């Protein structure tokens, strides 16, 4: 059993945080498009960002900020324009955004972190942002997480939010998170946009290490379409308002906190994968028997990202050959005679040899997932064993439907 429980509240569930989401006029659709998360006190800050050589201005800005100072109080996110590949003017817009929100909050701009999402090559609509900043500050509340979650999405069909609570000593500690992402999902860092808040007190170095490991086991283990974004950002704040003793070194309390942080990130990551553009189900791949965890995750992510595997799942075709082929090209050595493949409860390959299975029943299993309850009964489980090693890894993805092409063919039009 997990040593925590799910609670409501998203990023405002931890103590000392407020959030807001408003319509500032950044999106042509007129939907909410400006979000703010604010810590009432200075918080330890950590971040993981895209490794793409083409980075949005906000990514460069946040990296520099976190290198200079491992703390923050505010995260401002605009949706509608990615402000990536916009040159020096795009970076100047980022600096102006940070200064404007800092002045409105009456804090130093060095405590501001930024994120953007939307169409690459488009600058932020600064007039709309300028007029929206006083409004989003005025809208801050201790129940504003849902509004913020709604203001950061683009092609998402649903918002993504989670909050968990555990006990450290005799006091509750909470972690909350919101995220966005539906397409251009194949992270090489963390992913898309995800914001996490925590009310524990953690040393900066330890918090950064925890976040990086959590990212590898969550956001870095999902894929929708094989494309890595220019704006991928995972930012986490820890403000110490739980009033629990500071966690400064590895031990039982640090292990518990990292496990809960990982659970928050995995929930958000799976929600992103399930909400992949045009998707009808979540695909979870578990690989066992590899040399180490990293190798297992690499095989799992290769299978989850295979266009042929994803297409077969959408067609409700239990074509295990595509799973075997994807595992074989993952770049991780294993003996073919050790390969085992299961789809749900259906064992299809054992010791590298095909087995007879009920194809109609296996296809029905895939059809049932497509109509299952969201993030409850809509999972297709692919289990792969490659040997006798101790490495276990998971990855998540979604099926590839006709709608994915339609959505992305019409993205800027």
Please identify which residue in the block is written with the tokens 């809509």.
378
Sort strands 379-385 and 282-290 into parallel, antiparallel or unpaired: parallel
191 is catalytic: yes
Specify the 3-state DSSP secondary structure of 339: coil
Token digits for 178? 């919101």
Q: Which sign does the torsion angle of CA 317, 385, 370, 403 carry?
A: negative
Region of residue 351 (phi > 0: left; psi between -120 and 50: alpha; otherwise: beta) = left
Please identify which residue in the block is written with the tokens 């390969």.
339
Please identify which residue in the block is written with the tokens 């000392």.
16
Angstrom CA distances, 59 to 86, 212, 222, 225, 231, stand at: 13, 16, 20, 22, 6
Region of residue 250 (phi > 0: left; psi between -120 and 50: alpha; otherwise: beta) = beta
The catalytic position among 191, 228, 280, 302 is: 191
Q: DSSP letter string over 75-97? A: EEEEEEE--BS-HHHHHHHHHHH
Q: DSSP letter string over 287-317? A: EEEESSHHHHHHHHHHHHH-HHHHHHHHTT-
- Contacting residues for 378 by C-beta, under 8 A, at least 6 apart: 274, 280, 281, 282, 369, 370, 371, 372
Longest dimension (CA), the chain: 68
Residues annotated as part of the active site: 191
């Amino acid at each position: 059993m997990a040593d925590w429980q799910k609670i409501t509240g998203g990023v405002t569930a931890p103590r000392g945080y407020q959030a807001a989401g408003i319509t500032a006029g950044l999106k042509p659709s007129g939907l909410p498009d400006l979000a703010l998360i604010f810590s009432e006190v200075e918080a330890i800050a950590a971040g993981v960002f895209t490794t793409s050589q083409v980075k949005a201005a906000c990514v460069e800005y946040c990296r520099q900020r976190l290198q200079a100072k491992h703390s923050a109080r505010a995260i401002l996110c605009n949706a509608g324009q990615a402000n990536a590949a916009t040159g020096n003017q795009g970076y100047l817009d980022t600096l102006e955004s940070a200064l404007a929100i800092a002045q409105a909050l009456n804090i130093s701009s060095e405590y501001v972190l930024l994120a953007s999402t939307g169409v690459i090559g488009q600058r932020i609509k600064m007039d709309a942002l300028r007029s929206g900043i006083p409004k989003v500050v005025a809208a801050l509340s201790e129940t504003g997480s849902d509004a913020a979650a709604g203001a950061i999405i683009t092609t998402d069909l649903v918002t993504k939010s989670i909050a968990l609570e555990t006990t450290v000593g005799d006091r509750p500690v909470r972690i909350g998170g919101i995220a966005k992402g539906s397409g251009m999902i194949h992270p090489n860092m963390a992913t898309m946009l995800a914001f996490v808040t925590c009310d524990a007190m953690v040393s900066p170095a330890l918090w950064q290490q925890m976040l990086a490991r959590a990212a590898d086991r969550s956001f870095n283990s999902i894929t929708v379409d094989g494309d890595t974004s220019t704006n991928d950002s995972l930012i986490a704040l820890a403000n110490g308002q739980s009033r629990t003793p500071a966690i400064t070194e590895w031990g039982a309390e640090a292990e518990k906190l990292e496990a809960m942080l990982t659970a928050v990130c995995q929930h958000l990551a799976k929600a992103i994968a399930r909400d992949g553009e045009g998707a009808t189900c979540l695909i979870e791949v578990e690989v066992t028997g590899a040399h180490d965890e990293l190798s297992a995750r690499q095989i799992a992510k290769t299978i989850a990202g295979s266009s042929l595997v994803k297409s077969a799942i959408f067609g409700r075709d239990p074509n295990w050959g595509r799973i075997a082929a994807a595992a074989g090209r993952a770049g991780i050595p294993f003996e073919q005679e050790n390969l085992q493949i299961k789809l749900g409860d259906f064992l299809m390959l054992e010791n590298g040899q095909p087995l007879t299975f009920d194809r109609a029943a296996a296809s029905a299993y895939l059809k049932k997932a497509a109509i299952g309850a969201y993030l409850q009964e809509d999972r297709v489980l692919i289990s792969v064993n490659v040997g006798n090693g101790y490495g276990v890894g998971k990855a998540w993805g979604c099926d590839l439907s006709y709608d994915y092409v339609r959505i992305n063919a019409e993205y800027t039009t």
